[in-house]
């Protein structure tokens, strides 16, 4: 009798403890649970080079979170930066860095989501496979080379296709290829990588530059200094015509915003990026880090398809 | 409910049967289960070998230890996480400082390059200033390079797992990738800027001012902006990391709360378990002890406590078992004694039955117990009785022999007298008056009467007839006395013996009753008491018989005395007749005949006299024995010392207890 009574007392104490624990755990768990019910709208504008990836990612994201609606616009990197700093968009996609002098807002936060390689492309009629940096400067800036025959190609006048000033790709081209020099040539009215591709494809002797994400066999990829826009060459530092893809935000206190930014870095999207011609950011992370074994491993994993593709393009071009 | 009562009755036995206690004491000494060493079943539980006090101390110490460990662990965890957070925070702060300094360097470099440009493009350029500014730019670039390389070498999150763990707790695990990316972008922009800056410096040094100006404007400045922007992104990341650390701290705090609660629960559970375990070792066994006690209370005497361990409870259990063994042995001993007494009593009663059936040869076995004492008394009584009866028998036989002899003598006398009578009648016909006077004398019973008769043959003849008549009368008396003796032998004695046998049967019945009783001490005492009154009765019956025998013997004695007197008178008369016959000198033949008769008569009278004397002695002898017996038997019941002392002297069995009667001894032994 005594024992039974005592046991009842013990069990009462235990049940009390258990209840307290359950209540506490439930209180703690609430924060984590609310993430699945993301809802709201996101407006993304900017780089046309990044636009295909962001659109795809937004579709995937909306499928995961039916309550969330993400609108993705193009307009160029500078337009994207202007939109995000003026609160017209939540995320501004950009190929270029936001100049602190132009965008002094300290809340403007840089999120690098991937690397986009750019390629020098020429009309398929042009048989030249590779150009040096100086040759490109001479073609685009100084005008010393105006015929493909000067660089070992057919006797065709070179038509450089120049992108408008809002283009991030043009900025990158100036900084990394032209060394800050102006470019001269056929100026396009709209900033779109696709327009560049179409123009180059249909203009005999035309040469231009575009993001690898919009590359099709309709144009011929030219190597720069013998290096191709492959992951291996980029990671090794041989190929310099590439740019980080930035997604600028004004702070990331919005849960939907931070969720989408995390989603951009998640494995499915990065996989998608690789399929679409981008280079996953994980492949670039290891540059300069001490973990060389790990970097080699990551490269081996990531490189394959992109390299294949790049080579495939060039080979097709050669044929 | 009957069982316990009975057991209580049994339990009282040993205290009463004190004489047999030495035996019980022997059982105490070498009984196997009495002095029980704690047969400790060595259980795996070493706790049970500790004393209760030690065990309780151990329990309290364990509980305190558990509580201390739980509290200590929680505290250590908390301090660890706190120190981790604070160190990380401090590091982030210093990184922030260095990176901000780096941003200043970048801006300074930009300014210095412009200054250098201005100095170089001045109309009269000062080589010293240009060199100074160039050195400043190179120094700044080197320093910025150092900052970045230090950052790369030391502050990458991926090289600090604990910091990454902290961030992972805050849900910011993607930060190390972002850090690397941003660092890579900062390095890239920096290298681009540095290349442009070096180009400008080279151009200025070569005097290629316009190209340097161009480069400065279109390449150095944008790349500087890029580098600054990339650095700013890194600084922002650093700030985000700081926020993440705070977040992680909050998460950690929550985790710690949970941990401490769980720790408290686990600790209290452990303490409760320890307490339960320790108290279990006490309570369970005490309950077992209680159960066994109850079982024994309800009569299951074979129940025993299992002795486990070497603590106080085990000792108590062992002592309890030992006590039970002792009690049970005592009970067993008592039962055995009771059975022995019952057996002895039954044996004695069967002996009594045999005695009642008439066999006086019985000698009941005598033992040391109360029944033995009773049997001894019984034997003694029976022996005395047997001796008495034998003596009576012998006396009677003697009397019979004597009486028969007397009868033969008397017949011989009567025959001789008859012969004498016939010649006397033929010789002298008229002794009428003489004989009548003699008859008168005879009737007056005056012995001198015979002397007065100067009788002749007639008188002699009438005298002979008288003598003959008296003799026949005497013979009748003798026969009567013999008959009376036979009556004594047959009638009264048999009757008395029968009465005695009924008495004995009563005793037997009385004795048969105790066998139905439970043989406890009181019962035995009672059953041993009861035969004593019966024995009284028996002895009273015996005394009555003896009195009757005495009285009848007295009657016979008196009868024989009168016969003796008659005989002596007759002899004297015959002597007188003889004298007269010789004096008168009547017929010689007749005188010779009568002298013969007288002589025979005298011989007969003397013989009868001796017979009477013999009878008297026999009777006296019998009386004396009867008198002795009478005293004993009458006085046996009472506790007076004198007769019992006389009784014991022939018995001899109680030589050790001369001053006490058997009954007294019996009752005293029972009372003990």
Q: Domains along chain A?
A: 40-114+244-292 (3.40.190.10), 117-241+305-318 (3.40.190.10)
A109 touches B: beta carbon within 8 Å: yes
- How many other C-beta atoms lie within 10 A of the C-beta of residue B414? 19
Parent domain of B574 = 369-671
Q: Is B141 inside a domain boundary?
A: yes
- Checking DSSP bridges between strand A220-224 and strand A130-131, what pairing results, if any? parallel
B443 Cβ contact partners less than 8 Å away, ≥ 6 residues apart: none
Q: B395 with B533, same domain? A: yes
What is the domain-level CATH number for residue B97? 1.20.120
Give the minimum alpha-carbon distance from B335 to chain A in angstroms, rounded to a whole number. 40
When pLDDT is cut at 50, 70 and 90, the band that residue B79 belongs to is: confident
Nearest to A101 among B152, B225, B265 (CB): B225
Nearest to B233 among A14, A110, A265 (CB): A110
Q: Do B174 and A174 touch (CB under 8 A)?
A: no
Which chain A residues have a beta carbon less than 8 Å from that of B152? Answer: 288-289
Q: Is B666 inside a domain boundary?
A: yes
Which chain A residues have a beta carbon less than 8 Å from that of B183? Answer: 288
Q: Which residue of B has its CA nearest to A242?
A: B188
**Residues paired with residue A94 on neighbouring β-strands, in sequence order:** A246
Determine the Cα–Cα distance for residues A40 and A254; give it in Å rounded to an integer. 10
Q: What pLDDT does B241 receive?
A: 84
Which chain A residues have a beta carbon less than 8 Å from that of B184? Answer: 284-285, 287-288
Nearest to B283 among A3, A99, A284 (CB): A3
Q: What are the phi and psi torsion angles at A91 (to 5°)? A: -130, 135
Q: Report how far apart the first and last C-alpha atoms of chain B are (Å, whole number).
A: 30
Determine the Cα–Cα distance for residues A49 and A96; give it in Å rounded to an integer. 11
B187 touches A: beta carbon within 8 Å: yes
* Domain stops at, among B201, B223, B254: B254
Q: Report how far apart the first and last C-alpha atoms of chain A are (Å, whole number).
A: 97
Which chain A residues have a beta carbon less than 8 Å from that of B199? Answer: 179
Which chain A residues have a beta carbon less than 8 Å from that of B226? Answer: 96-97, 99, 175
Q: B556 with B433, same domain? A: yes
* Domain stops at, among B254, B281, B302: B254
Whole-Å CA distances, B526 to B354, B515, B530, B666: 23, 12, 6, 12
Q: Is B593 inside a domain boundary?
A: yes
**Residues paired with residue A75 on neighbouring β-strands, in sequence order:** A46
Which chain B residues have a beta carbon less than 8 Å from that of A2? Answer: 283
Nearest to B181 among A98, A100, A112 (CB): A112
Give the minimum alpha-carbon distance from A81 to chain B in angstroms, rounded to a whole number. 13
Contacts with B, A 7-66, CB within 8 Å: 10, 13-14, 17, 20-21, 24-25, 28
Determine the Cα–Cα distance for residues B388 and B547; give it in Å rounded to an integer. 13
A96 touches B: beta carbon within 8 Å: yes
**Chosen from A175, A246, A264, A295 to mutate, greatest number of chain B CBs within 10 A:** A175
Task: Calculate mean pLDDT across residues B604-618.
Answer: 76
In this structure, are residues B587 and B457 in contact, taking their beta carbons and an 8 Å threshold?
Answer: yes
Q: B104 with B239, same domain? A: yes
Task: Calculate mean pLDDT across residues B533-555.
Answer: 72
A110 touches B: beta carbon within 8 Å: yes
Q: What pLDDT does B421 receive?
A: 64
In this structure, are residues A65 and A140 in contact, taking their beta carbons and an 8 Å threshold?
Answer: no
Q: Which residue of A has its CA nearest to B268?
A: A14
Whole-Å CA distances, B60 to A254, B55, B277, B309, B585: 55, 9, 12, 21, 148
Query: Is pLDDT of B6 > 80?
Result: no
Query: Is pLDDT of B273 > 50?
Result: yes
The 3-state secondary structure of B532-579, one letter per residue: HHHHHHHHHHHHHHHHHHHHHHHHHHHHHHHHHHHHHHHHHHHHHHHH
Give the minimum alpha-carbon distance from A13 to chain B in angstroms, rounded to a whole number. 10
Q: What pLDDT does B259 receive?
A: 83
Q: DSSP character for A214? A: G
B184 touches A: beta carbon within 8 Å: yes
Give the minimum alpha-carbon distance from B139 to chain A in angstroms, rounded to a whole number. 23
Q: Is B332 inside a domain boundary?
A: no
B394 touches A: beta carbon within 8 Å: no
Q: Is B205 inside a domain boundary?
A: yes
Determine the Cα–Cα distance for residues B262 and B268; give it in Å rounded to an integer. 10
Residue (of A229, A222, A249, A243) closest to A309 by Cα position? A229
B251 touches A: beta carbon within 8 Å: no
Q: What pLDDT does A43 receive?
A: 92
Q: Do B258 and A25 touch (CB under 8 A)?
A: yes
Residue (of B317, B393, B392, B411) closest to B625 by Cα position? B392
Q: What pLDDT does B247 receive?
A: 82
Q: DSSP character for B298? A: T
Q: Of A154-158, A296-300, B612-616, B635-639, which range is least confident?
A: A296-300
Q: Scanning the structure block, which residue is given the tokens 């015959």?
A: B574
Query: Is pLDDT of B330 > 90?
Result: yes
Q: What pLDDT does B583 receive?
A: 53
Q: B236 with B99, same domain? A: yes
A267 touches B: beta carbon within 8 Å: no
Q: Scanning the structure block, which residue is given the tokens 């009463």?
A: B16
Tokens in use for B439? 């008859």
Q: Is B37 inside a domain boundary?
A: no
Q: What pLDDT does B175 receive?
A: 78
B152 touches A: beta carbon within 8 Å: yes
Which chain B residues have a beta carbon less than 8 Å from that of A3? Answer: 283
Query: Is pLDDT of B87 > 60?
Result: yes
Angle formed at CA B223 by CA B221 and CA B227, multiple of 5 degrees: 115
Number of domains forming the structure of chain B? 2
A133 touches B: beta carbon within 8 Å: no
Q: B391 with B516, same domain? A: yes
* Domain stops at, among B254, B285, B316: B254
Digitized pLDDT (tens) for each residue of chain A, 319 residues in all: 444 555 556 666 667 666 766 666 555 544 444 445 678 888 999 888 888 899 999 999 999 888 889 999 888 888 899 999 998 999 999 888 888 888 888 888 888 888 889 899 999 988 888 889 899 989 888 888 888 988 888 888 888 888 887 777 888 888 888 888 877 777 776 667 788 888 899 988 889 988 888 888 889 899 998 898 888 888 888 888 888 889 999 876 788 888 898 899 888 899 888 888 888 888 876 544 333 333 333 333 333 333 444 443 443 433 3
Per-chain mean pLDDT for chain B: 72
Most confidently predicted of A53-67, A189-203, B73-87, B617-631: A53-67
A175 touches B: beta carbon within 8 Å: yes
In this structure, are residues B230 and B105 in contact, taking their beta carbons and an 8 Å threshold?
Answer: no
Contacts with A, B 254-313, CB within 8 Å: 254, 257-258, 261-262, 265, 268-269, 272, 276, 283
To which H or E segment does residue A159 belong? strand A159-162
Q: Is B65 inside a domain boundary?
A: no
- The pLDDT tens digits for B341-358 are 888 888 888 888 887 777
When pLDDT is cut at 50, 70 and 90, the band that residue B334 belongs to is: very high
Residue (of B96, B144, B107) closest to B228 by Cα position? B107
Nearest to B229 among A99, A265, A282 (CB): A99
Q: DSSP character for B516? A: H
B218 touches A: beta carbon within 8 Å: yes
Q: Is B213 inside a domain boundary?
A: yes
pLDDT > 70: what percent of chain B? 70
Q: Is the ipTM of this complex over 0.85?
A: no
Q: What pLDDT does B616 receive?
A: 76
Q: Which residue of B has its CA nearest to A2?
A: B283
Q: Which residue of B has its CA nearest to A174?
A: B219
- B470-480 as b/e, with b when 16 or more CB fall inside 10 Å? bbeebbeebee
Q: Do B177 and A282 touch (CB under 8 A)?
A: yes
Which chain B residues have a beta carbon less than 8 Å from that of A24? Answer: 257-258, 261
- Burial level of B346, CB count in 10 A (0-12/13-18/19+)? middle
Give the minimum alpha-carbon distance from A233 to chain B in angstroms, rounded to a whole number. 15
Contacts with A, B 574-613, CB within 8 Å: none
């Amino acid at each position: 009798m005594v024992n039974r009574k005592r046991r009842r007392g013990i069990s009462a104490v235990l049940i009390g403890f258990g209840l307290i624990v359950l209540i506490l755990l439930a209180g703690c768990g609430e924060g984590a649970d609310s993430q699945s019910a993301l809802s709201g709208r996101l407006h993304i504008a900017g780089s046309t080079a990044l636009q295909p990836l962001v659109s795809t990612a937004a579709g995937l994201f909306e499928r995961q979170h039916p309550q969330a609606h993400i609108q993705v616009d193009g307009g160029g990197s500078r337009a994207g930066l202007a939109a995000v700093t003026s609160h017209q968009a939540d995320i501004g996609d950009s190929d270029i860095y936001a100049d602190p002098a132009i965008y002094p807002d300290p809340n403007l936060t840089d999120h690098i989501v991937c690397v986009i390689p750019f390629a020098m492309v020429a009309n398929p009629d042009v048989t030249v496979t590779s150009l040096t940096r100086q040759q490109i400067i001479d073609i685009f800036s100084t005008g010393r080379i105006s015929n493909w025959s000067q660089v070992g190609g057919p006797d065709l006048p070179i038509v450089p296709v120049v992108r408008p000033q809002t283009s991030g790709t043009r900025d990158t081209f100036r900084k990394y290829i032209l060394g800050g020099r102006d470019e001269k040539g056929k100026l396009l009215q709209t900033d779109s990588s696709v327009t560049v591709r179409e123009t180059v494809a249909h203009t005999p002797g035309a040469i231009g530059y575009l993001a690898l994400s919009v590359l099709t066999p309709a144009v011929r990829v030219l190597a720069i200094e013998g290096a191709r826009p492959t992951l291996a060459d980029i990671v090794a530092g041989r190929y310099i015509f590439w740019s980080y893809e930035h997604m600028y935000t004004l702070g990331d206190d919005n849960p939907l915003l931070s969720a989408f930014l995390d989603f951009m870095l998640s494995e499915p999207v990065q996989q998608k990026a690789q399929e679409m011609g981008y280079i996953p950011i994980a492949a670039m992370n290891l540059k300069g880090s001490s973990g060389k074994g790990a970097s080699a491993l990551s490269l081996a994993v990531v490189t394959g398809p992109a390299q294949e593709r790049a080579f495939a393009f060039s080979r097709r071009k050669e044929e | 409910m009957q069982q316990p009562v009975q057991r209580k009755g049994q339990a009282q036995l040993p205290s009463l049967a004190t004489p047999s206690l030495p035996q019980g004491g022997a059982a105490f000494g070498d009984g196997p289960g009495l002095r029980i060493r704690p047969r400790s079943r060595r259980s795996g539980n070493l706790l049970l070998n500790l004393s209760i006090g030690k065990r309780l101390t151990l329990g309290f110490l364990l509980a305190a230890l558990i509580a201390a460990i739980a509290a200590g662990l929680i505290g250590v965890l908390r301090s660890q996480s706190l120190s981790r957070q604070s160190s990380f925070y401090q590091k982030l702060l210093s990184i922030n400082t260095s990176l901000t300094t780096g941003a200043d360097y970048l801006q300074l470099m930009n300014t210095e390059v412009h200054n250098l440009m201005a100095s170089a493009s001045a109309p009269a350029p000062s080589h010293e200033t240009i060199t100074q500014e160039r050195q400043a730019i190179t120094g700044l670039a080197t320093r910025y390079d150092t900052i970045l390389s230090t950052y790369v070498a030391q502050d990458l999150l991926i090289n600090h797992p604990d910091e990454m763990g902290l961030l992972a707790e805050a849900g910011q695990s993607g930060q190390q990738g972002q850090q690397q990316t941003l660092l890579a972008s900062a390095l890239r922009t920096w290298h681009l800027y540095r290349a442009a800056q070096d180009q400008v410096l080279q151009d200025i040094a070569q005097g290629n001012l316009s190209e340097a100006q161009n480069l400065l404007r279109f390449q150095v400045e944008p790349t500087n902006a890029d580098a600054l922007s990339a650095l700013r992104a890194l600084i922002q990341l650093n700030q985000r990391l700081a926020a993440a650390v705070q977040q992680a701290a909050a998460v950690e705090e929550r985790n710690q709360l949970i941990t401490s609660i769980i720790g408290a629960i686990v600790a209290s559970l452990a303490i409760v378990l320890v307490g339960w375990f320790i108290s279990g070792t006490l309570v369970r066994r005490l309950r077992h002890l209680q159960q066994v006690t109850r079982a024994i209370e309800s009569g299951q005497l074979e129940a025993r406590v299992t002795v486990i361990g070497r603590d106080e409870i085990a000792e108590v259990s062992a002592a309890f078992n030992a006590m039970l063994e002792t009690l049970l042995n005592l009970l067993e001993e008592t039962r055995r004694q009771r059975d022995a007494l019952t057996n002895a009593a039954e044996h004695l009663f069967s002996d009594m039955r045999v005695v009642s059936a008439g066999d006086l040869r019985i000698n009941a076995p005598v033992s040391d117990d109360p029944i033995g004492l009773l049997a001894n008394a019984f034997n003694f009584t029976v022996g005395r009785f047997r001796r008495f009866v034998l003596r009576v028998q012998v006396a009677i036989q003697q009397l019979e022999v004597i009486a028969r002899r007397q009868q033969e003598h008397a017949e011989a006398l009567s025959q001789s007298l008859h012969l004498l009578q016939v010649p006397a009648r033929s010789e002298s016909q008229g002794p009428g008056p003489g004989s009548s006077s003699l008859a008168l004398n005879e009737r007056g019973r005056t012995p001198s009467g015979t002397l007065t008769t100067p009788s002749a043959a007639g008188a002699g003849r009438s005298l002979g007839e008288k003598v003959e008549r008296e003799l026949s009368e005497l013979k009748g008396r003798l026969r009567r006395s013999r008959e009376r003796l036979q009556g004594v032998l047959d009638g009264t004695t048999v009757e008395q013996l029968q009465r005695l046998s009924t008495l004995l049967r009563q005793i037997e019945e009385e004795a048969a009753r105790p066998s139905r009783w439970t043989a406890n001490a009181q019962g035995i005492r009672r059953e041993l008491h009861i035969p004593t009154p019966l024995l009284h009765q028996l002895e009273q019956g015996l005394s009555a018989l003896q009195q009757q025998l005495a009285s009848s013997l007295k009657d016979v004695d008196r009868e024989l005395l009168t016969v003796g007197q008659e005989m002596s008178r007759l002899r004297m008369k015959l002597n007188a007749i003889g004298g007269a016959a010789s004096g008168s000198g009547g017929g010689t033949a007749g005188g010779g005949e009568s002298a013969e008769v007288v002589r025979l008569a005298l011989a007969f009278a003397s013989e009868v006299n001796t017979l009477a004397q013999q009878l008297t002695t026999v009777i006296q002898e019998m009386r004396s024995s009867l008198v002795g017996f009478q005293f004993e038997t009458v006085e046996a019941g009472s506790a007076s010392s004198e007769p019992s002392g006389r009784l014991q002297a022939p018995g001899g069995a109680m030589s050790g207890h001369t001053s006490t009667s058997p009954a007294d001894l019996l009752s005293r032994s029972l009372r003990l």
